[in-house]
């Protein structure tokens, strides 16, 4: 656009004392220019026409305040995102910019000085999700001697990391590096651990959230249970173990895995004979501590916290819909998570890699990007699959001496030490084939293929269609948002991006905050990531929380609603539409009143009031009408 022309136009508008064109208004010299004009020309209103107020409104408000003008006497016209970036024609853009500037100038005339308010921060924190992200964040905060409530929906903390065998690229034992942290959480004086629990309701606002948590009945008294495990040994009912990805068995009374924190079993009422048929009670008979309590009920725990970290993690993509890969249909086609349990020395086969019939595979194909980088399922790259697939190749060579074929699209080994790990796997004799397989079939075409799984693929480097008979196929499945992510998002009033994961406030500069102040996200619930990134993000979220706690108070929006008690008829329509429960009814005077500490300035009550008795500060009718007139004239 022609900025000079816009400046000349602005100079001639009513009330404008001085209009200036400066290239970097947000820079120190730019701000200095504003301050100088305010002082020398005695200005009492400032309009800046530049980028979005999300970027720099705070900067210019501060400049005004430092010169003695109330920051709310400033207005910003967005002529970048709303104008120059989206308008191709220069003339049109110039005209639109003029309209936006004129609107801002007319609006700012009606601005009134407002005072921002501060509210104290409750120093307690809620962390939702007990995977590595939640554990890390909880420990960081608790170590600074601030109370943390850690809520986990399953019977033990640990999350997916507890299920993994080794971690790439260092090949550390995953459980060995995780369990010390789990134990710390379990015994930390500043952490109140609520496992087998779910958040049911969140109300309040930054610094002052009220949270209702449902603590599901374990049917085991946590105070009495000594964790001896005798009940588990004696329970006669076997069920597929979720922790072992369905490959192993657990009992109807169980802890998910031996190092579970807390080490207190849970009765699975869907499989317990007592709950199904009314008989058995074997666990009760053997429990010397008399901890089994079949009458236990769910409990609702209410806590008050100042900030919340959501770290609810991911789920593994179910490859059943990809019919051509045969998962669920062909034996020995398994997912990456199933392989983690298969190769784990504490897993159902004690780490022996076996086929369904108990024999050992001589050749294994690993298919990358199953459900990732695929428009039909998830367009994104899941970031960890290349690396864990290569880790599998190494573990297979260690455990089974089988040939390993990696079917990849691109190898993405981007992290520290990752490319070196790739080179190491190459040198160990793993065969890498570039090409996404078309199908995995058991229909043999030659005698050599009989009884095998045949991978049909295009080798895109050789330019050939080929078939490869193998004994086992591992599908490196995508990481996807939890099935109940929508519900969780609604519960905490946070947004999701198109891929289903929770949305951060800014993808680059505010990666752990959300659009709801006081609520932070960390780990794979924000997007697929590896353990180092998850831990870094969780620590970042903890730092954000600690910064709030150490300041002790938070500034809240001055643009709140105000009810004119002379006009209010007491119909209470506003009370119904207010999403923040910020309006009370004064029984004595029969009028409604806004609690400014709770009001977020959304304006729902303003449009909902039938007698036009409510006004929103900084968005008054005069201001908005003036703004529209300015844009239209």
What dihedral angle (degrees, nearest 10) is formed by the CA atoms of 244, 250, 256, 257? -70
Q: Which residues bind other proteins (CB under 8 A)?
A: 321-324, 441, 443, 445
Query: What minimum distance in Å lies between the beta carbon of 474 and other proteins?
Result: 20
CB-nearer residue toward other proteins: 9 or 407: 407
CB-nearer residue toward other proteins: 85 or 323: 323
CB-nearer residue toward other proteins: 443 or 498: 443
Query: What minimum distance in Å lies between the beta carbon of 323 and other proteins?
Result: 3
CB–CB of 348/560 below 8 Å?
no
CB-nearer residue toward other proteins: 8 or 329: 329
Query: What minimum distance in Å lies between the beta carbon of 452 and other proteins?
Result: 15
d(CA 337, CA 329): 18
> Is beta strand 453-459 parallel, antiparallel or unpaired with respect to 439-441?
antiparallel
Query: What minimum distance in Å lies between the beta carbon of 324 and other proteins?
Result: 5
Neighbours of 543 (CB within 10 A): 15
CB-nearer residue toward other proteins: 320 or 493: 320
Cα 407 to Cα 249, 355, 429, 430, 464: the distances in Å are 31, 20, 14, 11, 14
Query: What minimum distance in Å lies between the beta carbon of 597 and other proteins?
Result: 52
CB-nearer residue toward other proteins: 454 or 609: 454
CB-nearer residue toward other proteins: 254 or 325: 325
Query: What minimum distance in Å lies between the beta carbon of 443 and other proteins?
Result: 6
Provide the residue count of the chain. 633
Instruction: Render 486-554 in DSSP notation, one character per residue.
Output: HHHHHHHT--B-TTSSBPPSBTTTBSSB-SSTTEEE-GGGSS---HHHHHHHHHHHHHHHHHHHHH-EE
Query: What minimum distance in Å lies between the beta carbon of 444 and other proteins?
Result: 11
CB-nearer residue toward other proteins: 113 or 321: 321
CB-nearer residue toward other proteins: 335 or 441: 441
d(CA 254, CA 251): 6
Instruction: Render 610-629 in DSSP notation, one character per residue.
Output: TT--EEETTS-HHHHHHHHH
Looking at residue 225, the DSSP 8-state letter turns out to be -
Query: What minimum distance in Å lies between the beta carbon of 254 and other proteins?
Result: 36
d(CA 441, CA 450): 11
Query: What minimum distance in Å lies between the beta carbon of 319 and other proteins?
Result: 12
d(CA 128, CA 214): 13
* Closest alpha carbon to 168 in 408, 5, 371, 387: 387
d(CA 370, CA 379): 11
| Residue for token pair 């929770």 | 502
CB-nearer residue toward other proteins: 121 or 440: 440
Query: What minimum distance in Å lies between the beta carbon of 385 and other proteins?
Result: 21
E strands, 400-450, are 403-408, 431-434, 439-441
CB-nearer residue toward other proteins: 323 or 414: 323
Query: What minimum distance in Å lies between the beta carbon of 409 and other proteins?
Result: 18
CB–CB of 214/303 below 8 Å?
no
Token pair listed for 228: 């001896």
Tally: H helices and E strands in the chain: 17, 32
Query: What minimum distance in Å lies between the beta carbon of 389 and other proteins?
Result: 22
Judged by DSSP in three states, 402 sits in coil
CB-nearer residue toward other proteins: 443 or 509: 443
d(CA 502, CA 540): 16
d(CA 299, CA 134): 22
Token pair listed for 67: 């010169």
């Amino acid at each position: 656009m022609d900025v000079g022309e816009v400046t000349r136009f602005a100079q001639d508008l009513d009330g404008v004392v001085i209009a200036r064109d400066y290239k970097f208004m947000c820079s120190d010299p730019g701000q200095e220019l504003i301050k100088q004009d305010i002082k020398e020309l005695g200005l009492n209103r400032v309009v800046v026409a530049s980028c979005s107020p999300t970027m720099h409104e705070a900067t210019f408000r501060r400049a005004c305040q430092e010169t003695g003008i109330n920051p709310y006497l400033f207005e910003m016209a967005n002529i970048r995102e709303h104008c120059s970036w989206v308008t191709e024609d220069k003339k049109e853009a110039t005209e639109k910019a003029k309209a936006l500037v004129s609107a801002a100038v007319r609006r700012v005339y009606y601005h009134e000085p407002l005072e921002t308010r501060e509210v104290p921060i409750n120093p307690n924190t809620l962390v939702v999700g007990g995977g590595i992200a939640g554990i890390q964040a909880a420990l960081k905060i608790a170590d600074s001697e601030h109370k943390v409530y850690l809520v986990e929906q399953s019977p033990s903390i640990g999350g997916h990391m507890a299920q993994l065998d080794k971690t790439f690229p260092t090949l550390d034992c995953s459980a060995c590096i995780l369990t010390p942290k789990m134990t710390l959480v379990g015994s930390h004086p500043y952490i109140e651990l609520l496992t087998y629990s779910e958040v049911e309701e969140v109300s309040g606002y930054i610094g002052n959230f009220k949270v209702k948590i449902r603590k599901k009945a374990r049917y085991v008294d946590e105070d009495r249970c000594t964790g001896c495990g005798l009940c588990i040994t004696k329970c006669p009912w076997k069920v597929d173990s979720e922790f072992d990805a369905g490959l192993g068995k657990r009992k109807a009374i169980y802890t998910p895995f031996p190092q579970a924190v807390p080490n207190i079993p849970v009765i699975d009422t869907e499989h317990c004979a007592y709950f199904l048929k009314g008989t058995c009670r074997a666990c009760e008979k053997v429990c010397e501590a008399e901890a089994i309590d079949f009458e236990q009920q769910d409990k609702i725990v209410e806590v008050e916290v100042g900030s919340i970290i959501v770290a609810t993690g991911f789920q593994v993509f179910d490859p059943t819909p990809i019919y051509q890969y045969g998962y669920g249909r062909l034996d020995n086609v398994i997912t990456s998570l199933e392989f983690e349990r298969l190769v784990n020395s504490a897993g159902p086969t004690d780490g022996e890699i076996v086929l369904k019939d108990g024999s050992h595979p001589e050749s294994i194909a690993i298919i990358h990007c199953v459900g990732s980088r695929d428009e039909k399922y998830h367009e994104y790259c899941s970031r960890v699959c290349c690396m864990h697939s290569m880790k599998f190749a190494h573990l297979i060579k260690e455990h089974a001496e089988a040939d390993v074929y990696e079917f990849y699209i691109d190898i993405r080994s981007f992290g520290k030490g990752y490319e070196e790990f790739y080179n190491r796997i190459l040198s160990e004799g793993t065969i890498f084939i570039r090409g996404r397989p078309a199908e995995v079939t058991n229909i043999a075409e030659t005698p050599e293929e009989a009884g095998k799984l045949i991978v049909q693929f295009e080798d895109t480097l050789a330019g050939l269609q080929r078939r490869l008979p193998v004994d086992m196929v591992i599908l490196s499945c995508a990481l996807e948002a939890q099935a109940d992510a929508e519900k969780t998002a609604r519960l905490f009033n946070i947004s999701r991006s198109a891929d289903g994961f929770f949305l951060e406030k800014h993808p680059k500069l505010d990666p752990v905050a959300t659009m709801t102040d006081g609520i932070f996200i960390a780990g794979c619930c924000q997007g697929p990531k590896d353990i180092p990134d998850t831990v870094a993000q969780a620590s970042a979220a903890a730092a954000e929380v600690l910064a709030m706690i150490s300041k002790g108070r938070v500034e809240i929006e001055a643009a709140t609603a105000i009810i004119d008690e002379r006009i209010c008829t007491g119909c209470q329509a506003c009370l119904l539409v207010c999403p923040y429960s910020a309006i009370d009814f004064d029984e004595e005077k029969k009028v409604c009143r806004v609690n400014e500490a709770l009001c977020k300035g959304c304006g729902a009550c303003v449009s909902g009031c039938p007698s036009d008795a409510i006004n929103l500060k900084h968005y008054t009718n005069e201001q908005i009408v003036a703004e529209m007139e300015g844009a239209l004239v």
